[in-house]
Amino acid sequence: MLNDWIKKRRAEKQVRKPDFTRIKTGVNKDFGPKKRGRRAYTALRRPEVPDDCCIKCDTCGRTLFLLEIRENLYRCPKCGAYFMFPAKRRIRMLADAGSFEPMDTELAFVNPLDFPGYAEKVAAQQEKYGIDEAVLTGRCRIDGLGAVLAVCDGRFIMSSMGHNVGEKLTRAIELATREKLALIIYCCSGGARMQEGMISLMQMAKTAAALKRHHDAGLLYISVLTNPTTGGVTASFAMLGDIILAEPNALIGFAGPRVIEQTIGQKLPEGFQRAEFLLSHGFVDAIAPREEQKALLARLIRLHNGAAGRRAFHRHAAAQQEKEDFAESPALPVQSREDPWETVKASRKTGRPRALSYIRLLFEDFTELHGDRLFGEDPAMVAGLAFFEGLPVTVIAQQKGSNLQENQKRNFGMPRPEGYRKALRLIREAESFGRPIVCFVDTPGAYPGMDSEERGQGEAIAACLRELSGVSVPVLSIVLSEGGSGGALALAVANQVWMLEQATYSILSPEGFASILYKDAKRAKEAAAVMKITAADLKRLGVIEEIIAEYGGACGETLPQIAGEIRRRMRCFLKEALSLSGEELAAQRYERFRKM
């Protein structure tokens, strides 16, 4: 009877036992009794998670839930590394809800080489990822602003560029050109699609030609480089943006790392070909984290909408003019120093506010852009886009440091050739989009190092002089402290040049002048007296138009007052300059220097 009861209880327990057949359970070798030589199974250990629920981070090695990654914009919540972002999810992240209108979703399949198995591979990828090709294109709105958006999906045959990818991109570019819309392409690719041979390679030329027409129409193209962007895509549409952004740590390069290592027989350094590497070498404007991209793209589109900006500026200027007419304040007296050497010393004080301090007070939404697209990034030259009372402007400034450490980083405000070429790139971009240019001069001179000469310092400065002389937009230059030699003049070919009250603007330093003409650098004070380098002297000579009062000396306390005076005068200058045509502005600038 006892045996019957035990059997009954065992049967009841078996019925109540949870059903674990739908998940994989681990075999516990170390826990629980063994019966009849068979290993005991237990549900006490943590079950294995199905493969489609987790993913391993290649950077930190941790296993993460896919749901957690998706909620974090496909970034590792532990180390911040970026995972490949599906194109559809990226579009939902960027485009306003319901605004994306896809285009060219049913292009006929192309197999120019009749490559065996290619059609089956494409069909399998289409079924797996639910997209027709490695790029999705369409019209959308970003923060209410119209744009054409193309997003590459790296999962689809590594987003390699075949005929249909090139065709979809070219049609998207042509649509943006036709409808005068900004174009945004999210680039991701392993390069050309080998199964299509030379037809794949031809897509590089096709997309580049379409982008040339878009650029010539004066329209904005923003390229966003994601991980990885390599091969023929890098050598075509990816690197042709008016603005080039990159996601953190994205692999970007023409030849892949393995190809380079095999070719040169060397191990590549840490961080080579990553986004930060390209930023420091002048090929990327900015690194853009995913959570900031939509706001940044919307701001860049607005900064390139000159017509809307001019309307906003004129409304603001009219309102400000009414206020000033109602409560007109007397002009501030400018007190020039009697001793030019004292002005030289005042201009060199480390406590004087630098260009970025004025930029923060004068402009809204300043967006700094980096690099010359040729060699490197120069911290001594700051350049970017901003709004001045609603008007998009290009801002270019020579930047000194406020202490020794910052001065070393900024090379004491002495730009190298890549700094002037960065300025040149922004000057040309301003011309294309009709943006006024505001320059801040603050340099003892261009950097006279051997590396500067090797990279063509003279040519870089000369190119700035030539380009500024002929642009069809207003140009204003303000000398903040020291304006030394041709390095300063490179940013001072303007419709008007202003100087702060205790700034200097000279052919070279008084020490250099005395050394050359008097053969004695100790006679710098004497040289300063005969060089006519103060604001008052230069205004009498007709070299500058305006002197900005310093309220007893430029410093942190007087900075808001000085910036307020600059703002008032800048508003008047821009209001008048914007009433002139491009030809009139260029002619005015030419005549200004022709009579000197």
**Distance (Å, rounded) from C-alpha 180 to C-alpha 139?**
12
pLDDT at 24 exceeding the cut of 50:
no
pLDDT at res. 47: 41
The DSSP secondary-structure symbol of 411 reads: G
pLDDT at res. 6: 65
Amino acid at 37: G
Burial of 33 (0-12, 13-18, 19+ CB in 10 A): exposed
pLDDT at 390 exceeding the cut of 70:
yes
pLDDT at res. 316: 81
Residue 220: count other Cβ atoms within 10 Å of its Cβ: 23
Q: How far is CA 536 from the centre of its chain?
A: 39
At 333, the pLDDT band (50, 70, 90 cuts) reads: low
Helices (H), 53-196: 66-71, 87-94, 118-129, 163-178
Q: Look up tokens 């990034």; give the residue.
A: 377
pLDDT at res. 320: 77
Which tokens go with 215? Answer: 């650029």
- For residues 75-96, give the mean pLDDT: 91
At 372, the pLDDT band (50, 70, 90 cuts) reads: very high
Helix or strand (DSSP H, E) at 505: strand 504-506
**Cα pseudo-dihedral 418, 422, 428, 430, rounded to 10:** -160
Q: How far is CA 378 from the centre of its chain?
A: 14
Which tokens go with 580? Answer: 């002139």
Beta bridge partners of 369: 383
How many Cα atoms are found within 13 Å in the side-chain-facing hemisphere of 368? 15
Residue 280: count other Cβ atoms within 10 Å of its Cβ: 14
Residue 370: which of 278, 261, 232, 272 has the closest Cα?
278
Interval 422-444: pLDDT, tens: 999 999 999 999 999 999 999 99
**Distance (Å, rounded) from C-alpha 523 to C-alpha 382?**
34
pLDDT at 537 exceeding the cut of 80:
yes
pLDDT at res. 339: 86
95: three-class secondary structure by DSSP:
coil
pLDDT at res. 337: 56
Least confident of 8-12, 120-124, 571-575: 8-12
The answer to whether 417 and 387 have CB atoms below 8 angstroms apart is no
Residue 90: which of 145, 168, 152, 133 has the closest Cα?
152
**Distance (Å, rounded) from C-alpha 158 to C-alpha 43?**
40
At 1, the pLDDT band (50, 70, 90 cuts) reads: low
pLDDT at res. 577: 96
Interval 28-84: pLDDT, tens: 444 444 444 444 443 434 444 445 678 888 888 888 888 888 888 888 888 888 888
Q: Look up tokens 């030289």; give the residue.
A: 344
Helices (H), 434-523: 450-454, 457-470, 485-489, 510-517
Helix or strand (DSSP H, E) at 432: helix 417-433
- For residues 2-16, give the mean pLDDT: 64
151: three-class secondary structure by DSSP:
strand
Q: Look up tokens 């070919």; give the residue.
A: 493
pLDDT at res. 343: 93
Pairing of strands 101-103, 135-142: antiparallel
The DSSP secondary-structure symbol of 112 reads: T
- For residues 95-108, give the mean pLDDT: 95
The answer to whether 178 and 148 have CB atoms below 8 angstroms apart is no
At 351, the pLDDT band (50, 70, 90 cuts) reads: confident
565: three-class secondary structure by DSSP:
helix
pLDDT at res. 15: 53
**Distance (Å, rounded) from C-alpha 287 to C-alpha 293?**
10
The answer to whether 245 and 285 have CB atoms below 8 angstroms apart is yes
Q: Cα-atom radius of gyration of the chain, to the nearest Å? A: 32
At 251, the pLDDT band (50, 70, 90 cuts) reads: very high
pLDDT at 317 exceeding the cut of 90:
no
360: three-class secondary structure by DSSP:
helix
Residue 225: count other Cβ atoms within 10 Å of its Cβ: 28
Residue 310: count other Cβ atoms within 10 Å of its Cβ: 17
- For residues 314-327, give the mean pLDDT: 71
**Distance (Å, rounded) from C-alpha 149 to C-alpha 186?**
8
pLDDT at res. 29: 42
Interval 163-194: pLDDT, tens: 999 999 999 999 999 999 999 999 999 889 99
pLDDT at res. 161: 95
pLDDT at 480 exceeding the cut of 70:
yes
pLDDT at 22 exceeding the cut of 50:
no
How distant, in Å, are the alpha carbons of 81, 136, 139, 278, 394 from that of 295? 21, 21, 18, 23, 19
pLDDT at res. 61: 82
The answer to whether 514 and 522 have CB atoms below 8 angstroms apart is yes
What does the buried/exposed string (b/e) look like for 320-344 if buried means 16 or more CB atoms within 10 Å of the residue's CB?
beeeeeeeeeeeeeeeebeebeebb
What percent of the chain has pLDDT above 70?
Answer: 88
pLDDT at res. 557: 93
Interval 266-299: pLDDT, tens: 999 999 999 999 999 999 999 999 999 999 999 9
**Distance (Å, rounded) from C-alpha 533 to C-alpha 505?**
5
Helix or strand (DSSP H, E) at 531: helix 524-531
437: three-class secondary structure by DSSP:
strand
Which tokens go with 488? Answer: 């300063």
Which tokens go with 285? Answer: 């404007």
For residue 228, whether the previous peptide bond is cis, meaning omega lies within 30 degrees of 0, is yes
- For residues 357-378, give the mean pLDDT: 97
> What angle separates helix 87-94 from helix 290-303, to the nearest 10 degrees?
50
**Distance (Å, rounded) from C-alpha 408 to C-alpha 80?**
31
Residue 353: which of 478, 445, 481 has the closest Cα?
481
Give the angle subtended at the CA of 482 by the CAs of 508 and 562, to the nearest 5°.
Answer: 155
The answer to whether 507 and 513 have CB atoms below 8 angstroms apart is yes
Q: Average pLDDT, whole number, for the chain? A: 89
pTM score, whole prediction: 0.87
What percent of the chain has pLDDT above 90?
Answer: 76
Q: Look up tokens 């201009």; give the residue.
A: 347
